[in-house]
Amino acid sequence: MSSTLFPLLTKSTYLNTAYVGPMSTALAQFRQLQEKEYLEKGATYKVNAYDDLDTTHHILADFFGAKKEHTYVVSNFSTGIRQALTFLSKSLNVLLLEEEYPSLSSAFEESGFEVHKIPKTTAVEDAIEKRLATGGIDVLALSIVQYDTGLLIDLEFLKKIKKNYPNLILIGDGTQFLGGHLFHFDRSPFDLVVASGYKWLLAGFGNGVLMVSSLFLKSAGCSFAELHQRIFNGHFNILAAASLRFAIESFRAQGFEKLLDQKIKLSEKVKTQLTDKLYIEPWVAERKQHSSIFILKGGASLYEKLQKNNIQCALRGTGVRVSFHYYNTESDLNHLISILKKS
């Protein structure tokens, strides 16, 4: 079934969603219809798109457990977070992890915030807690899933942090998280979550989602209307926004929780086999939870070996990153293991 939905899966063992999610046949057909409507209707196509924007925000908000007026479609993570940060005082002290996703770190560094960093360890929650206890931090910003290790930040820990520091502004990069995990923004500890849609949300390029809390805007001294105006200053990418809406509706139609259940079960098997055979670092199995992103021991030579055997993956640091979504299968895992055994 997955190979019918995603033709790319028939051509390779696709373990590279963390780099870019494949396009589905259904999305490609939908986009063709959108372009046809633009071709035939011109200005009316644009008018209809603006009229539909409110409905798009409602669909996104409902899926991610946020209020509609707190939810916006944006062009991507990098642009969205910068649009939101323009309202915050640059005198705020921001805590980041070292070796964070570069666009997250640079969003604060380029804007002149007071940036403080702590090493990214496998016990990252302990490091965060110790630094916050010393005082002087106004904002904690991090990727919910770390792109270079697959480490999934403990959300229960973040809820505890938020309870202990209720005025702390908590910002999350959800690009490697949304679409791969259940998430309810209003029940989460976050004040701002921004994500691109082309990875785990399978929505193609040029779109993303931004969700913001009342605390964030109170601290920033702006209203939801002002943020809306900042985001939609000028035209927006109508086709990309429609693609994100289509992707979210597709998740719903297929039963998103059922899809995630498939992904979780496979990811546990992946983690077990890779750990037992010492292909990944032992800390992955020692944490309570981990994402479906794994860093294999080995560098360029292993990457080239996997590529030659038609396994799509990515070089990350001194390792090779593989990632599993709901459309991956045990056959994909078995093929990966068989090649690793020969390496």
Q: Could you read off the pLDDT of 237-275 as tens digits, one per residue?
A: 999 999 999 999 999 999 999 999 999 999 999 999 999
What b/e sequence results for 201-237 when a residue is b if at least 16 CB atoms lie within 10 Å of its CB, and e otherwise? bbbbbbbbbbbbbebbbebbebebeebeeebeeeebb
316 is in which domain, residue-wise? 2-23+255-342
- Predicted confidence at residue 1, as pLDDT, reads 52
Q: Could you read off the pLDDT of 266-321 as tens digits, one per residue?
A: 999 999 999 999 999 999 999 999 999 999 999 999 999 999 999 999 999 899 99
Task: Let me know if residue 30 belongs to a domain.
Answer: no
Task: Let me know if residue 28 belongs to a domain.
Answer: no
Give the E-state strand segments of 145-271 in sequence order.
169-173, 192-196, 208-212
- Predicted confidence at residue 30, as pLDDT, reads 98
Looking at the fold, whether 176 and 285 belong to one and the same domain comes out as no
Are 180 and 291 in contact by the 8 Å Cβ rule? The answer is yes
Looking at the fold, whether 300 and 315 belong to one and the same domain comes out as yes
Strand order, beta sheet including 319-323: 293-297, 319-323, 314-316
- Predicted confidence at residue 89, as pLDDT, reads 96
Q: Which of 253, 279, 303 is the last residue of a domain?
A: 253
Looking at the fold, whether 192 and 299 belong to one and the same domain comes out as no
Question: Is the pTM of the predicted complex or chain greater than 0.75?
Answer: yes
Looking at the fold, whether 136 and 217 belong to one and the same domain comes out as yes
Gap between the Cα atoms of 133 and 129, Å rounded: 6
Q: Would you tell me how many other CB atoms lie within 10 Å of the CB of residue 82?
A: 18
Looking at the fold, whether 207 and 326 belong to one and the same domain comes out as no
Hey, which residues does 209 pair with through a beta bridge? 73, 195
**Both tokens of residue 10?**
């028939």
Looking at the predicted structure, is the pLDDT value of residue 77 above 90?
A: yes
- Predicted confidence at residue 2, as pLDDT, reads 67
Q: Can you give the CATH number for the domain in which 318 is found? A: 3.90.1150.10
Q: What totals of helices (H) and strands (E) does the chain contain, helices first?
A: 14, 12
Backbone angles phi, psi at 258, to 5 degrees: -65, -40
Task: Let me know if residue 35 belongs to a domain.
Answer: no
Gap between the Cα atoms of 91 and 114, Å rounded: 6
Task: Let me know if residue 338 belongs to a domain.
Answer: yes
Residue 76: name the closest of 31, 120, 113, 107 by CA.
107
- Predicted confidence at residue 218, as pLDDT, reads 95
Q: Average pLDDT for residues 68-79, to the nearest whole number?
A: 98
| % of the chain at pLDDT higher than 90 | 97
- Predicted confidence at residue 343, as pLDDT, reads 79
Backbone angles phi, psi at 192, to 5 degrees: -150, 125
- Predicted confidence at residue 317, as pLDDT, reads 87
**Both tokens of residue 294?**
């794994």
Gap between the Cα atoms of 280 and 150, Å rounded: 11
- Predicted confidence at residue 248, as pLDDT, reads 98
Looking at the fold, whether 73 and 16 belong to one and the same domain comes out as no
Looking at the fold, whether 67 and 165 belong to one and the same domain comes out as yes
Looking at the predicted structure, is the pLDDT value of residue 155 above 80?
A: yes
Looking at the fold, whether 244 and 276 belong to one and the same domain comes out as no
Q: Average pLDDT for residues 163-184, to the nearest whole number?
A: 98
Q: Can you give the CATH number for the domain in which 217 is found? A: 3.40.640.10
Q: Which of 230, 253, 276 is the last residue of a domain?
A: 253
Q: Which of 203, 222, 253 is the last residue of a domain?
A: 253
**Both tokens of residue 206?**
């040029």
Looking at the fold, whether 323 and 264 belong to one and the same domain comes out as yes
Looking at the fold, whether 142 and 259 belong to one and the same domain comes out as no
Domain count, the chain: 2
Looking at the fold, whether 235 and 276 belong to one and the same domain comes out as no
Looking at the fold, whether 210 and 165 belong to one and the same domain comes out as yes
Task: Let me know if residue 37 belongs to a domain.
Answer: no
Q: Average pLDDT for residues 207-228, to the nearest whole number?
A: 96
Gap between the Cα atoms of 306 and 279, Å rounded: 14
Q: What contacts 278, CB < 8 A, 6 or more positions away?
A: 297
pLDDT band (50, 70, 90) for residue 221: very high
Q: Which helix (H) or strand (E) holds 316?
A: strand 314-316
Average model confidence (pLDDT) for the chain?
97
